[in-house]
Chains A and B, each alone.
Chain A
Amino acid sequence: MAATSLEGADAPQPRTAKAAPRAVGRLRPWQVMIALAALFVVISLARQLSGGTDLTSVGQWGGTLSFAMPIGLAGLGGLWAERAGVVNIGLEGMMVLGTFGGGYVAWHTHSAWLGLLAGIALGALGGLLHAYLTVTLGVDHIVSGVAINLLAPGFAAYLSKLAFTTPAATAQGGGQKQSPPVPGFSRITIPGLSSWLAHLDAHHWFLVSDLAGLIGGIVTGLSVITVLAVALLIGSYFVLWRTPFGLRLRSCGENPTAAESLGVNVYRYKYAAVLVSGGLAGLGGVFIAMVNSNFFLDGQTGGRGYIGLASMIFGNWRIGGLAAGAGLFGYTDSLQGRADTTSVHALLLIVAVLLIGLALWNGYRRRYLRAGIGLAIGALVVVWFTATKSLPAEFLVVTPHITTLLVMGLASQRLRMPKADGLVYRRGQGT
């Protein structure tokens, strides 16, 4: 009896509360601002040291913005679907449908906006198919997505040949695999300011020119669709996290059985989410075909649907993180398109600085092993930077892919996806 009472005497932590702070994965706004500012200083410093002027030029930032948008839109589509518990790897296919729908209708009707609507509608149609297969029939989400990715490009290629090899189309430059030029959307350039910023940018002053480049990139030739996309990102946050509709939708991704028991029509919300998802991917496709280009081209998406999905995972199924991921991928995408090998090479310097910074942070947190590894890799990258003059162009193309692999390999344990994400849910089967 003595032993047991002793055992019972020392009460460990209370049963309900956990001592851990809930900061993991969620940063406060001011922390994000400081981190972004620090990153900017690092890039600026790298530009100054290496002379890779394109790292922060007006063109580079403008390119970042326009390359990031399709990725961000696809990622946002993924976020909608996965928050409702449906994994949507079919984003790529839906994006392809978007490029065709936009290209065809815009050319046919001479209206960019009708093209936009058609792209969204075709993307949503792909979403409808995915929703039917996964929600109504209960097919595995990955299998369904892969099937859609096989089907959609086939249809787009078939229809494009049908639509763009007519005499009327070929006369305007259409062909088997591409549409004639299509009307674009209006772009916003602030007169005076843009040119002044470009002028400032050309001076290459530390931080000042870099900042001018950044702002100039935003206010020069800004497409209205970019504005729309940003609005959709912000709007999605409010809809998903601040409205009853969003609450219901997210509950389907966390615990559909519970949602059903409270009278939520889980199928309907999943359908809605996947339809929106397809529409957003379609809009991403429209962006590729009609903003970053001015015609539809077969295979134009180049796997950006997958990158979008990756940026969503990178962003921990949250809008802010997703935007950051899309921005990062857009930045490298944009830089690789610029003919400035010095700037590309300077990327190594940025990576090295970031790695060493992270290592120091780990050292401060007494995680010496990680700190050591980080320092070693950082040092290697510095050696690589000093020993070479340029980066092989072949590898620059896959920077987003390698970044995704690294981020997922290093930070995957911190990520938290919706609890019922990817699980097939059948109505009435919960206990």
Chain B
Amino acid sequence: MNANTKPPAAAERPAKGLGKGLGKGIDREKLLLAVAAPVLALIATMVITAIVLLCSGKEPFGALRVMGTYLGYSDYQVNTLNQATTYYLGALAVAFGFRMKLFNIGVDGQYRIGAFFAAVAGGAVNLPAVLEIPMIMVVSMACAGLWAGIAGWLKVTRGVSEVITSIMLNAVAGSVIAYLLNPKRLALAVGNDVRTPKIPDSGHFFSFNLAGGQLWGFIIIAALVGIGFHLLLNRTRFGFDLRATGRSESAALASGVNVKRMVVVSMLVSGALAGLIGMPQLLNSSYQYSVDFPAGIGFTCIGIALVGRNNPVGIAFAALLFAFLDTVANPLQFNGYQVELVPVIEGTIVVCVVGTYEVVRRYGLRRQQSRVGEQLGRTGPTATDTAKGVAA
């Protein structure tokens, strides 16, 4: 354990604290139920993982011990935070769509398109840092946003489900990059490696020098995006419209929300957020886009958004959890477990969470209905009427 790792953890906290204090009259029970679901899911995951380990002849508590040990190492903490930064941004991108029941499954393709063109743009020009970094980010967000916009546009004009189109666009994105990432086109061949030109120093984002290693400064951007996400959704008209559309598209339409415009805008915003996924890696670590640029993050982020219940605070926890599991995969390997155990745990968490949330949500709704009925039964003059209405 190292005291130096504290500040970043604290830096994350403002984003989490904001969720509270907001709803003045929040029912204690509501809060309890909100916490109950992920806790139940985690317990279920542990049980299932233990069973999997037992079946494969491994000792389950050992794995937990390994995780506990490495949780205390500062270099693992830094790696976790760095990885969580990426995951957090991606999961916010996914959650933005999910909040209005828009399934942007194509985050994976979007961030790769964004990061690739951002890397090309960053490598091509050398501006002062105050311009270079925003320029790279804007290019990435714009390209990723437009890529997502194709799915939004097809949904609005042609009524095509965004689920299928965004999956197809993932594959197409891969081939567009493969085509352009070629020495004959936008890339350089350096030894065995094919990559885009390096981004100049002015395009390097700052890092915190900690005992555990380099903590990417992009974590601050991620926290700001999280706060912005929360404020936009909960404190603005746009956010209200978006949430209303997610809760009931028909009611939103009747209330005056321009649902088609919302679909396109949300898809663009979701894509633009996805454009940030590759930025920590690009601006804090690799400074170039090469064949080995991380792929597949988008799908993990869908899982994280689901586990975090599409809420910026929940997603922060989920991102930290998934990032920690990823970083602890290698130590598990040293200790006789397998790297592949991690995807199993992650997948199990997602499935369990999805199930328990639904069960808890329905339970909460039913419980509130019956409690309202009870309360009115005692106080209201036309108690029978109301109670019947609730029961029906």
**Which residues of A come within 8 Å of B, CB atoms?**
89, 129, 132-133, 137-139, 142-144, 146-155, 157-158, 161-162, 303, 306, 309-310, 313, 392, 394-395, 397-398, 401-402, 404-405, 408-410, 412-413
> How far does the Cβ of A170 sit from chain B's closest Cβ, in whole Å?
15
- Is B179 within 8 A of A394, CB to CB? yes
- Is B103 within 8 A of A151, CB to CB? no
Known: A158-B52, A158-B344, A398-B172. 4 other contacts (CB 8 A): A137-B359, A146-B302, A151-B344, A402-B168
A412 CA / B158 CA spacing, docked (Å): 6
B206-214, B250-258, B348-356 - interface stretch: B348-356
- Is A408 within 8 A of B340, CB to CB? no
> How far does the Cβ of B346 sit from chain A's closest Cβ, in whole Å?
7
Pick from B176, B306, B338, B362: contact of A146, CB below 8 A: B306
Chain B interface mostly: helix
> How far does the Cβ of A125 sit from chain B's closest Cβ, in whole Å?
13
Q: A143-B354, A413-B159 are in contact. Are A397 and B338 (CB under 8 A)?
A: no
A151 CA / B163 CA spacing, docked (Å): 19
Task: Pick 16 A–B contacts, CB within 8 A, sort by A.
Answer: A129-B351, A138-B362, A139-B355, A144-B354, A147-B351, A150-B300, A150-B302, A150-B346, A155-B344, A157-B340, A313-B164, A394-B179, A398-B172, A398-B175, A409-B154, A410-B158
- Is B105 within 8 A of A155, CB to CB? no
> How far does the Cβ of B303 sit from chain A's closest Cβ, in whole Å?
5
Which residues in B have their C-beta under 8 angstroms from that of A149?
A: 299
Listed residue (A138, A152, A409) with the most chain B CB atoms within 10 angstroms of its CB? A409
Which residues in B have their C-beta under 8 angstroms from that of A154?
A: 340, 342-344, 346-348
Task: Report, nearest first, the 10 A-B pairs whose CB atoms are least far apart.
Answer: A154-B343, A151-B347, A158-B340, A394-B179, A154-B347, A401-B168, A401-B171, A394-B178, A157-B340, A408-B160
Interface residues on B, range: 35 or more
- Is B347 within 8 A of A137, CB to CB? no
Q: A139-B358, A162-B56 are in contact. Are A405 and B350 (CB under 8 A)?
A: no
A287 CA / B338 CA spacing, docked (Å): 28
A92 CA / B175 CA spacing, docked (Å): 20
A259 CA / B159 CA spacing, docked (Å): 28
Which residues in B have their C-beta under 8 angstroms from that of A142?
A: 103, 163
- Is A137 within 8 A of B306, CB to CB? no
> How far does the Cβ of A347 sit from chain B's closest Cβ, in whole Å?
15
Which residues in B have their C-beta under 8 angstroms from that of A162?
A: 56, 338
A157 CA / B158 CA spacing, docked (Å): 38
Which residues in A have their C-beta under 8 angstroms from that of B358?
A: 133, 137-139
Which residues in B have their C-beta under 8 angstroms from that of A155?
A: 344, 347
Which residues in A have their C-beta under 8 angstroms from that of B340?
A: 154, 157-158, 161
- Is B159 within 8 A of A405, CB to CB? no
A148 CA / B351 CA spacing, docked (Å): 7
> How far does the Cβ of A236 sit from chain B's closest Cβ, in whole Å?
22
A398 CA / B167 CA spacing, docked (Å): 12
> How far does the Cβ of B150 sit from chain A's closest Cβ, in whole Å?
8
**Count of A-B contacts with CB under 8 A?**
122
Question: Who on chain A is nearest to B362 by CB?
Answer: A138
> B341 contacts the other chain (Cβ, under 8 Å)?
yes
Listed residue (A401, A410, A412, A413) with the most chain B CB atoms within 10 angstroms of its CB? A401
Which residues in A have their C-beta under 8 angstroms from that of B120?
A: none
Which B134-168 residues sit within 8 Å CB-CB of chain A? 154, 158-161, 163-165, 167-168
Q: A137-B359, A162-B338 are in contact. Are A147 and B343 (CB under 8 A)?
A: no
> B81 contacts the other chain (Cβ, under 8 Å)?
no
Question: Who on chain B is nearest to A144 by CB?
Answer: B354
Which residues in A have their C-beta under 8 angstroms from that of B168?
A: 306, 310, 401-402, 404-405
> How far does the Cβ of A260 sit from chain B's closest Cβ, in whole Å?
17
> B223 contacts the other chain (Cβ, under 8 Å)?
no
Which B15-39 residues sit within 8 Å CB-CB of chain A? none
> How far does the Cβ of A67 sit from chain B's closest Cβ, in whole Å?
16
A398 CA / B354 CA spacing, docked (Å): 32
> B169 contacts the other chain (Cβ, under 8 Å)?
yes
Which residues in A have their C-beta under 8 angstroms from that of B342?
A: 154
**Which residues of B come within 8 Å of A, CB atoms?**
52, 56, 103, 105, 154, 158-161, 163-165, 167-169, 171-172, 174-176, 178-179, 299-300, 302-303, 306, 338, 340-344, 346-348, 350-351, 354-355, 358-359, 362
Pick from A147, A152, A397, A408: contact of B354, CB below 8 A: A147
A303 CA / B359 CA spacing, docked (Å): 31
- Is B160 within 8 A of A409, CB to CB? yes
Listed residue (B303, B354, B359) with the most chain A CB atoms within 10 angstroms of its CB? B354
Which residues in A have their C-beta under 8 angstroms from that of B52?
A: 158
- Is A147 within 8 A of B347, CB to CB? yes
> How far does the Cβ of A179 sit from chain B's closest Cβ, in whole Å?
15
A129 CA / B306 CA spacing, docked (Å): 17
A155 CA / B49 CA spacing, docked (Å): 11
Which residues in A have their C-beta under 8 angstroms from that of B175?
A: 394-395, 397-398
> How far does the Cβ of A165 sit from chain B's closest Cβ, in whole Å?
9
Question: Who on chain A is nearest to B356 by CB?
Answer: A137
A24 CA / B267 CA spacing, docked (Å): 32
> How far does the Cβ of A167 sit from chain B's closest Cβ, in whole Å?
15
A161 CA / B350 CA spacing, docked (Å): 22
> How far does the Cβ of B22 sit from chain A's closest Cβ, in whole Å?
26
- Is A150 within 8 A of B154, CB to CB? no
A313 CA / B250 CA spacing, docked (Å): 25
Question: Who on chain A is nearest to B345 by CB?
Answer: A154
Q: A133-B355, A413-B158, A413-B159 are in contact. Are A303 and B171 (CB under 8 A)?
A: yes
A129 CA / B348 CA spacing, docked (Å): 12
> How far does the Cβ of A250 sit from chain B's closest Cβ, in whole Å?
21
Question: Who on chain B is nearest to A403 by CB?
Answer: B168
Pick from A89, A150, A303, A404: contact of B350, CB below 8 A: A150
A409 CA / B178 CA spacing, docked (Å): 25
- Is A143 within 8 A of B306, CB to CB? yes
> How far does the Cβ of A79 sit from chain B's closest Cβ, in whole Å?
15
Q: A158-B338, A158-B343, A401-B172 are in contact. Are A137 and B179 (CB under 8 A)?
A: no
Which residues in B have their C-beta under 8 angstroms from that of A398?
A: 171-172, 174-175
Which residues in B have their C-beta under 8 angstroms from that of A158?
A: 52, 56, 338, 340-341, 343-344
- Is A412 within 8 A of B160, CB to CB? yes
Q: A395-B175, A397-B175 are in contact. Are A161 and B338 (CB under 8 A)?
A: yes
A142 CA / B159 CA spacing, docked (Å): 17
Which residues in A have their C-beta under 8 angstroms from that of B303?
A: 146-147, 150
Q: A158-B340, A394-B178 are in contact. Are A408 and B347 (CB under 8 A)?
A: no
- Is A153 within 8 A of B343, CB to CB? yes
> How far does the Cβ of B178 sit from chain A's closest Cβ, in whole Å?
4
- Is B158 within 8 A of A408, CB to CB? yes
